[in-house]
Amino acid sequence: MSLSGAHNDRGEVKVRDSLDDLSTELADYIAELSEASVKERGVFAIALSGGSLVSLMGKLCEAPYNKTVDWSKWYIFWADERVVAKNHTDSNYKLAKDGLLSKVPIVPSHVHSINDSVSAEEAADEYEFAIRQLVKTRVVSVSDNSDCPKFDLILLGMGPDGHVASLFPNHSVLNEKDEWVTFITDSPKPPPERITFTLPVINSASNVAVVVTGDSKAEAVHLAIDDVGPDCPSLPARMVQPNGKLVWFLDKPAASKLDHPHQG
Residues at the interface with ligand LXAUTJHC (CB under 6 A): 49-53, 80, 92, 156-157, 159, 165-166, 189
> Which runs of consecutive H residues, i.e. helices, occur in the chain?
19-41, 53-56, 65-68, 92-99, 120-136, 199-202, 218-225, 252-255
Can you tell me the distance from the alpha carbon of 220 to that of 257, in angstroms, rounded to the nearest whole number?
A: 9
Q: Minimal CB distance to ligand LXAUTJHC: which residue?
A: 51
Can you tell me the distance from the alpha carbon of 66 to that of 100, in angstroms, rounded to the nearest whole number?
A: 10
Q: Which is nearer to ligand LXAUTJHC, 80 or 125 (CB)?
A: 80
Q: Which is nearer to ligand LXAUTJHC, 43 or 221 (CB)?
A: 221
Can you tell me the distance from the alpha carbon of 209 to that of 51, in angstroms, rounded to the nearest whole number?
A: 14
What is the closest distance, in whole angstroms, from the C-beta atom of residue 123 to ligand LXAUTJHC in the complex? 14
Q: Which is nearer to ligand LXAUTJHC, 55 or 145 (CB)?
A: 55
Specify whether the CB–CB gap between 259 and 227 falls below 8 A: yes
164, amino acid identity: V
What is the closest distance, in whole angstroms, from the C-beta atom of residue 222 to ligand LXAUTJHC in the complex? 16
CA 238 from centroid of its chain's CA atoms? 14
Q: Which is nearer to ligand LXAUTJHC, 95 or 106 (CB)?
A: 95
What is the closest distance, in whole angstroms, from the C-beta atom of residue 157 to ligand LXAUTJHC in the complex? 3
Q: Which is nearer to ligand LXAUTJHC, 75 or 78 (CB)?
A: 78
What is the closest distance, in whole angstroms, from the C-beta atom of residue 156 to ligand LXAUTJHC in the complex? 6
